Amino acid sequence: MWDFANFFTQLFGNGLTTKKAKSTCIYLAYACNVFFVTFFTTQSSFQLKKLQDRVAKAKEQVNKCRENYQVALQDINNYNPKYMEEMTNVFEQCQRMEAQRLQQFKDTLFSVQKCLNISEDVVYVFNDKYPLIIRLIND
């Protein structure tokens, strides 16, 4: 028996992503197998005509499937630049937020360092930074 499922996979590649495209190709492979099996086992002209009609319909289905696949690929390719632009904006926003977070972290650590610096007047620093220390502990 002929392996038309493999033939259609090679024809369209591994890019058959929609269920409709895959089912159409499976249907075509089945129709082609039926055609060859029937053709070699029977010689009736009526059955031959019937099978030729099936093959013609299968070819139409292949063309429709290929057109749908090409349209889907075109839609994906058209959306690519917009996706890249949006992801660039998201990346830049994340970078800004990270820079802000790091700056806040540095400011907090420098404030704590000033509180712990014993070379300055301890009473002055403690009274000045007491609310900050309490806020940091509670957060």
pLDDT tens by residue, 28-77: 666 666 666 555 655 567 777 888 899 999 999 999 999 999 999 898 88
Per-residue model confidence (pLDDT) at position 1: 45
- pTM above 0.85? no
The rounded distance, in Å, linking the Cα atoms of 123 and 53 is 99
Q: What percent of the chain has pLDDT over 70?
A: 59
Q: What percent of the chain has pLDDT over 90?
A: 31
The rounded distance, in Å, linking the Cα atoms of 79 and 87 is 12
Contact partners, residue 136, CB within 8 Å, separation at least 6: 108, 112
